[in-house]
């Protein structure tokens, strides 16, 4: 093993690997920053290129696109409150507040540093613990997934706003919205009212842009700030003291994110929200979260990036991809004659380690690339709003349309924009709604699978075979209640 590791280390040190990885990181960042263009799309498009490169060049190139893309998504989230993916939602709330306070540079720096730290720690951890993680992954089936998703929703509802009742209402509304469309298990249509476009459900992207970006755009327009700028300052760079203040949070989020990454089917959205909620709960000033708290960005970004390491494990050890991104990587591996699976380490151990080591180098490189491009990005907010706002609106609509070229999505964007404005006026937080909407379908699917596994005797099945899931289910209300009490104390005190 050690021998393979050392050989792999030598293999990774190649100029062309680094050059293409750098290109991938930079390109991924730009694509990720454009709403509507997902990292996944960029990877799928670039996949064939990797087929004709050597494994140790082509796969790090794709990994670069992936890593760059995730950070790229936080750029519009921070600067114009336009999260393009669920994973950037938690970042956008404190990030945009910081932009308005003239601290966008600090916000972007914090996003970069905590992303890279979370990602790198989880990569190294994964490399060292790949086989234990592979074992752990196997312990999670549908019942556990359901229990953990339910727990996540309860934690989000209990900690997300200053009024847990309102956030619970919004979350239930989000869950209901996720039911619209064709039932994922039985294929029965629900709440579609015979409307053809609703059959495949409400799309996520228009909802995200609609409820997060449109109200902010409208706010600027309604305040008639045409001649002014979104923020007069972009502020100083992040100081080491600020980073150190958040370091505990970053570490906590990294652990949470890595843990969530080992559970197949959870992913970055849950990680970001759990990291954020945990930081808020641990903080002695939870009221500053959501009002421009650097720690909030650190918590969300470290957690959602820390997911990346462990999600590679089922791919590398079993040859089973857990999500779309790893499926694309599987394609890249296979076409190179590297068949991920149990024998991969025996036959191609050095190459696999070389790829994993390249992942670690990619993080270091990205630190430099990101740090140098942040001043350039952060200047966007200094454009006069009379110029910037029309451009942002264009990006909102174009991004929504480009995702799957569907006019129906534009209608949804407007509808959710109006909804977001109304919710804002009524001081309802839209985040729990979005989380309910995102986490509802996987939770429902896991529920249906659990029922099927139980074969008519679900409870006895759970008690006989799935005590872990039962434990989480029992603990859920207790955890929820504790967090609720704490948040209520903060609100009233």
Partner 1 sequence: MFNFSLKKLAVSLGFAALMTPTLALAEYPEKPITMVIPFGAGGSHDLNSRVITSIIPTYLNQAMIVRLTPGAGGQKGTQEVANATADGYTLLFTHNYVDMLQQYVEDLPYDPLEDFIPIARVNYAPMGVVVRADSPYKSFEDLVEAATMDPGSVRMSHSGNWGAQFVPAAQIMRARGIHFNLVPYKGGGPAMQALLAGDAEVTMGFPSTLSGQIESGAIRVLATAGAERMYDDVPTFAEVGVEGDIGFMHRVLVAPKGTPQEAVDKLTEAFAALVEDTTFTRMMGRLNETVDLMDGESYQKLREEQAHAYEDLVKALTSQ
Count of chain residues binding partner 1 (CB under 8 A)? 64
H/E/C letters for each residue in 213-282?
HHHHHHHHHHCCCCCCECCCCCCCCCCHHHHHHHHHHHHHHHHHHHHHHCCCCCCHHHHHHHHHHHHHHH
- Only one of the segments 46-54, 225-233, 271-279, 300-308 lies at the binding site for partner 1 (rule: CB under 8 A); that segment is 46-54
DSSP 236: P
Whether the CB-CB separation of 69 and 335 falls below 8 Å is answered with no
Applying CB under 8 A, does 321 fall inside the site for partner 1? yes
Concatenate the DSSP letters of all residues of 167-215 into one string: HHHHHHHHHHHHHSEE-TTT--EES-TT-GGGGG---HHHHHIIIIIHH
Of the candidate residues 237, 339, 424, 488, the single one contacting partner 1 (CB under 8 A): 339
Provide, rounded to whole angstroms, the least separation between the CB of residue 267 and partner 1: 13
User: How many C-beta atoms lie closer than 10 Å to residue 210's C-beta?
Assistant: 24
Residue 263 or 483 having the CB closest to partner 1: 263
Applying CB under 8 A, does 55 fall inside the site for partner 1? no
Q: What CA–CA distance (Å, rounded) separates 177 from 403?
A: 20
Helix (H, G, I), strand (E, B) or coil at 61: helix
User: How many C-beta atoms lie closer than 10 Å to residue 428's C-beta?
Assistant: 19
Place of tokens 């937080």: 429
Provide, rounded to whole angstroms, the least separation between the CB of residue 243 and partner 1: 27
Provide, rounded to whole angstroms, the least separation between the CB of residue 113 and partner 1: 23
Provide, rounded to whole angstroms, the least separation between the CB of residue 213 and partner 1: 16
Of the candidate residues 387, 422, 474, 478, the single one contacting partner 1 (CB under 8 A): 387
Residue 136 or 251 having the CB closest to partner 1: 136
Residue 337 or 493 having the CB closest to partner 1: 337
Applying CB under 8 A, does 320 fall inside the site for partner 1? yes
Provide, rounded to whole angstroms, the least separation between the CB of residue 255 and partner 1: 24
Triad 218, 219, 224: Cα angle to 5°? 95
Applying CB under 8 A, does 452 fall inside the site for partner 1? yes
Applying CB under 8 A, does 397 fall inside the site for partner 1? no
- Cα 76 off chain centre by: 14
Residues 6+ apart with CB under 8 A from 492: none
Applying CB under 8 A, does 312 fall inside the site for partner 1? no
Whether the CB-CB separation of 311 and 323 falls below 8 Å is answered with yes
Applying CB under 8 A, does 80 fall inside the site for partner 1? no
Q: What's the chain's Rg over C-alpha atoms?
A: 22
Applying CB under 8 A, does 328 fall inside the site for partner 1? yes
- Only one of the segments 228-236, 375-383, 416-424, 477-485 lies at the binding site for partner 1 (rule: CB under 8 A); that segment is 375-383
Applying CB under 8 A, does 327 fall inside the site for partner 1? yes
Applying CB under 8 A, does 111 fall inside the site for partner 1? no
Place of tokens 């990569």: 123
Of the candidate residues 4, 7, 192, 324, the single one contacting partner 1 (CB under 8 A): 324
Q: What CA–CA distance (Å, rounded) separates 134 from 145?
A: 16
Applying CB under 8 A, does 468 fall inside the site for partner 1? no
- Only one of the segments 39-47, 95-103, 229-237, 469-477 lies at the binding site for partner 1 (rule: CB under 8 A); that segment is 39-47
Applying CB under 8 A, does 186 fall inside the site for partner 1? yes
Per residue in 27-49, is it b (16+ CB within 10 Å) or e — as a string? bbbbbbbbbbbbbbebbbebbee
Q: What CA–CA distance (Å, rounded) separates 398 from 404?
A: 11
Applying CB under 8 A, does 259 fall inside the site for partner 1? no
Applying CB under 8 A, does 100 fall inside the site for partner 1? no
Q: What CA–CA distance (Å, rounded) separates 337 from 81?
A: 43
Applying CB under 8 A, does 136 fall inside the site for partner 1? no
Applying CB under 8 A, does 402 fall inside the site for partner 1? no
Of the candidate residues 102, 141, 203, 436, the single one contacting partner 1 (CB under 8 A): 141
Structure tokens at 359: 């992942």
Applying CB under 8 A, does 130 fall inside the site for partner 1? no
- Only one of the segments 104-112, 243-251, 270-278, 449-457 lies at the binding site for partner 1 (rule: CB under 8 A); that segment is 449-457
Taking CA atoms, 132 is separated from 127, 143, 181, in Å, by: 11, 21, 39
Provide, rounded to whole angstroms, the least separation between the CB of residue 331 and partner 1: 3
Whether the CB-CB separation of 261 and 308 falls below 8 Å is answered with yes
Residue 124 or 320 having the CB closest to partner 1: 320
Provide, rounded to whole angstroms, the least separation between the CB of residue 134 and partner 1: 10
Of the candidate residues 46, 53, 127, 278, the single one contacting partner 1 (CB under 8 A): 46
Binding site for partner 1 (CB under 8 A): 27, 30-31, 33-34, 42, 44-49, 51, 138-142, 182, 184-187, 196, 199-201, 264, 314, 318-321, 323-324, 326-328, 330-331, 334-335, 337, 339-344, 376-377, 380, 383, 387-388, 391, 404, 445, 448-449, 452-453, 455-456
């Amino acid at each position: 093993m050690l021998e393979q590791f050392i050989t792999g280390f030598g293999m990774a040190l190649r100029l062309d690997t680094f050059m293409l990885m750098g290109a991938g990181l930079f390109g991924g960042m730009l694509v990720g920053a454009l709403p509507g263009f997902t990292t996944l799309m960029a990877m799928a498009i670039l996949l064939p290129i990797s087929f004709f490169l050597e494994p140790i060049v082509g796969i790090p190139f794709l990994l670069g696109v992936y890593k760059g893309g995730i950070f790229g998504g936080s750029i519009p989230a921070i600067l114009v409150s336009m999260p393009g993916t669920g994973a950037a939602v938690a970042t956008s709330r404190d990030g945009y507040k910081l932009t308005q306070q003239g601290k966008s540079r600090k916000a972007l720096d914090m996003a970069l540093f905590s992303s890279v730290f979370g990602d790198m720690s989880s990569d190294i951890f994964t490399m060292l613990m790949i086989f234990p993680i592979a074992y752990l992954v196997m312990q999670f089936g549908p019942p556990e997934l359901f229990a953990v998703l339910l727990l996540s929703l309860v934690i989000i509802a209990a900690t997300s706003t200053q009024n847990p009742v309102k956030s619970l209402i919004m979350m239930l509304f989000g869950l209901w919205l996720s039911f619209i469309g064709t039932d994922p298990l039985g294929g029965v249509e629900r709440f579609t009212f015979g409307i053809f476009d609703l059959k495949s459900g409400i799309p996520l992207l228009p909802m995200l842009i609609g409820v997060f970006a449109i109200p902010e755009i409208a706010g600027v327009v309604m305040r008639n700030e045409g001649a002014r700028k979104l923020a007069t300052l972009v502020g100083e760079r992040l100081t080491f003291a600020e980073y150190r203040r958040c370091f505990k949070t970053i570490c906590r989020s990294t652990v949470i994110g890595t843990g969530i990454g080992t559970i197949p089917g959870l992913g970055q959205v849950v990680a970001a929200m759990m990291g954020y909620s945990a930081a808020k709960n641990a903080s002695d000033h939870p009221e500053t979260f959501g009002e421009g708290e650097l720690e909030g960005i650190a918590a969300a970004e470290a957690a959602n990036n820390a997911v990346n390491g462990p999600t590679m494990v089922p791919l590398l050890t079993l040859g089973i991809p857990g999500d779309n991104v790893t499926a694309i990587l599987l394609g890249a591996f296979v076409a190179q004659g590297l068949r991920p699976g149990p024998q991969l380490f025996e036959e191609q151990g050095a190459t696999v380690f070389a790829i994993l080591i390249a992942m670690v180098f990619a993080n270091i490189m990205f630190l430099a690339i990101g740090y140098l491009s942040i001043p350039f990005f952060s200047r966007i907010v200094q454009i006069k709003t009379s110029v910037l706002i029309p451009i942002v609106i264009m990006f909102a609509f174009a991004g929504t349309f480009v995702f799957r070229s569907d006019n129906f999505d534009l209608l949804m964007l407007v509808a959710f924009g109006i909804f977001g404005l109304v919710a804002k006026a009524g001081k309802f937080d839209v985040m729990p709604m979005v989380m309910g909407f995102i986490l509802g379908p996987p939770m429902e699917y896991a529920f249906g699978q659990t029922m099927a596994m139980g074969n008519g005797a679900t409870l006895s099945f759970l008690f006989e075979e799935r005590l872990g899931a039962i434990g989480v289910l029992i603990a859920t209300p207790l955890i929820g209640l504790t967090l609720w009490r704490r948040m209520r104390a903060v609100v009233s005190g």
